Chain A
């Protein structure tokens, strides 16, 4: 389908779907960047956000309530997980961290499956004007445009919190030298708990924002997690701007490749990741 109209539509679509990927990846990269924990339960938390939002949506019929409940609930789950499990793993080898978060992810997925079954659940997209809008160059779902705007705002807030507030400064100082920060009288433990909670909340938020687009199933986070890893590796592990740029690059690669050969779109994504790993192993924005 190689024509000018389709090229413009795909370019645009790459940006929108890339932004959604960026949001999901942001939580993963924040937690890794600050706590050094590669959270393999991130996909499960994404899924949990979708379900928490779904339950709230069923109860109230309000999408706004669904988003708030989805994000807050998963943020709370994140805090609880950090206190009960993850904090005991900060000082342990990376393999242990990977195994424990992977295990936590499986437990969450299977608990949700036990409660809701494997059939997918639907959350209706809110409609402002019309479910489908004509952009001139493409017919596009209104909700995806709305989601793009929401994601842009959410990412801007996250950026502000991390780089322009005292909390963000302490977090970044904590990464550099947690002992020194501790000596300055700042409770690093509490900061770490907050960061893990924020990372989880970002996953849950992304889960409910994605719910009207993709069906909510217990395994919805599995495939997403893999794409997130690609995004994070391309952008630079632990880099917040990297997650955003990586997300958009991934979205564009998949959209534009599909014009020539849809079969190759995933292959090209991994090819790009390989290229980055070979030429710039720390990722585009990575510093380590």
Chain B
């Protein structure tokens, strides 16, 4: 001390400056050390450098699945709006949320993937390269979902399928970077089959109308597995290409198959066309219709008459608010913004964003491996829009209920949207396969 005094003002000032720099360095140190723990990975940290983070919404807005895609986009955008405003509903699922995610405003943009895997990957590439997306979300076709699963793993950017019914999405095509919240082939079949066998009898002969890709194949596999175990026989499986318009040849084959039950696996317009044409060919007059994985807007398009009495599996239905108050809140807020009830794709989109926000807030960083760790922690959400849920770490599938519904008769409807009566809300734990059963190998986080 005395020495520096002896050396005079200039040196003293220098010492002070060095000291200040040192102090500043020391103050900055924890932050530097913090960042140093997380090397750049995917769009981290470039995507979070500003005061906002970008979410790329990749949904079909044209083609067979367009209506479901548009609905899903609405749910996603409502969730983002709720994140940025710090809405109570999103806080109920992501309690650490204040406004935005980790204090950053969430921005988004949507691109049309037309239910085609190549376009979905092109869109996602643009979102990652141009927008440095922190999150990719959206699908209606499992064909696009599994493609984006692998894209996400390659790019090290988290991806959340919206609607995806194939077992493969969290089965053989699962990846470390993808998390699916919606119900799927196996879970809906496990939930629906006991109801079908109980209500329709054990000696049914079933004919299937199945879209020829991963979703159709796995729903067919799971439905036949569970119904055949209950005594049903499968008499024919008519595979049609996605987006088919003429079902006459399939309808005639089914008419000649001796079936008494028609299981329609088609989704979107495929479901609408196949059910309408089944009616035109007289199949529905002598067969019971079953829809294991029901498409959004199905009843609005084929008419209540054709759906009366039909058993179906759903991910979410607006009228479960008496069981789950958060569901009611979601439906009310959605309706206030868009002027119509949400379909289940909108709900899937909303829930996915809310659960992602919770994972990021819990991790305290956008660094993907830490976010993945938060997802995989096995946290039990005591309440959500569909009751208690939790992520299964082994295959990144949300453990969540399946809602079994039955179409109402027109005369029994209490309002224009009162399409179904809820037969049962089947809890998720009992209707899932062993996580390794469909060959899931998650891959590395880094």
Contacts and interface: CB of A to CB of B under 8 A. Distances in A.
Contacts of B297: 119
Most buried by A among B249, B281, B301: B249
B253 interface: yes
A222 B241 CA distance: 14
A132 B281 contact: yes
Interface in B248-284: 248-250, 252-257, 269, 272-273, 276-277, 280-282
A101 interface: no
A266 B241 contact: yes
Nearest to B283: A139
Contacts of B256: 1, 3, 5-6, 9
A21 B269 CA distance: 20
A17 B249 CA distance: 9
Interface stretch (B57-65, B117-125, B181-189, B409-417): B57-65
B305 interface: no
A143 B269 CA distance: 21
Interface in A179-232: 213-215, 217-220, 222-224
B244 interface: yes
A287 B8 CA distance: 105
Contacts of A125: 280
A139 B282 contact: yes
Contact of B252 (A10, A20, A120, A263): A10
B249 to A, nearest CB: 4
Given A1-B253, A118-B67, A119-B67, A214 B246 contact: yes
A117 B273 contact: no
B69 to A, nearest CB: 8
Most buried by B among A138, A140, A144, A217: A217
Assign chain A's interface to a size class: 35 or more
Nearest to B67: A118
B245 interface: yes
Contact of A138 (B63, B243, B252, B303): B252
B131 interface: no
B250 A258 contact: yes
Contacts of B212: 263
Given A3-B256, A141-B281, A117 B67 contact: yes
B238 interface: yes
Contacts, number: 115
A238 B333 CA distance: 56
Interface residues of B, number: 40
A3 B258 CA distance: 12
A132 B250 CA distance: 17
A266 B247 CA distance: 12
A113 interface: yes
Contacts of A262: 238-240, 249-250, 253
A18 to B, nearest CB: 10
B124 to A, nearest CB: 22
Given A120-B272, A262-B239, A262-B240, A13 B252 contact: yes
A10 B243 contact: no
Interface in A138-181: 138-141, 143-144
Contact of B249 (A5, A219, A258): A258
Interface in B63-102: 63-64, 66-67, 69-70
Contact of A120 (B69, B243, B244, B269): B269
A218 B252 contact: no
A122 interface: yes
Per DSSP, are chain A's interface residues mostly helix, strand or loop, or mixed? helix
Contacts of B69: 118
Nearest to A261: B239
A118 to B, nearest CB: 4
Contacts of A272: none
Contact of B282 (A132, A213, A224): A132
Nearest to B209: A262
Contacts of B70: 117-118
Contact of B253 (A6, A16, A140, A223): A6
B300 interface: yes
Interface in B292-332: 297, 300-301, 303
B224 interface: no
A75 B393 CA distance: 59
A1 B255 CA distance: 9
B236 interface: yes
A223 B244 contact: yes
B300 A119 contact: yes
Contacts of A16: 248
Given A119-B301, A219-B66, A258-B238, A139 B281 contact: yes
Interface string A97-140: 00000000000010001000111101001000001100000111
Nearest to B244: A223
A10 to B, nearest CB: 6
A17 B252 contact: no
A140 B281 contact: yes
Nearest to A220: B245
A224 B250 contact: no
A254 interface: yes
B269 A213 contact: no
A259 interface: yes
A218 B62 contact: yes
A200 to B, nearest CB: 20
A265 interface: yes
A25 interface: no
Contacts of A259: 249, 253
A223 B281 contact: no
B273 A215 contact: yes
A273 to B, nearest CB: 15
A224 B245 contact: yes
A132 B212 CA distance: 29
A49 to B, nearest CB: 15
A140 to B, nearest CB: 7
A218 B269 CA distance: 11
A16 to B, nearest CB: 8
A5 B256 CA distance: 8
A239 interface: no
Given A1-B236, A222-B63, 7 more contacts: A20-B246, A113-B66, A214-B277, A215-B273, A218-B62, A219-B64, A255-B252
11 contacts: A3-B256, A9-B255, A109-B62, A139-B281, A141-B280, A144-B248, A215-B272, A217-B66, A255-B248, A258-B249, A259-B253
Give 3 closest A-B pairs by Cβ, nearest first: A118-B66, A258-B249, A141-B280
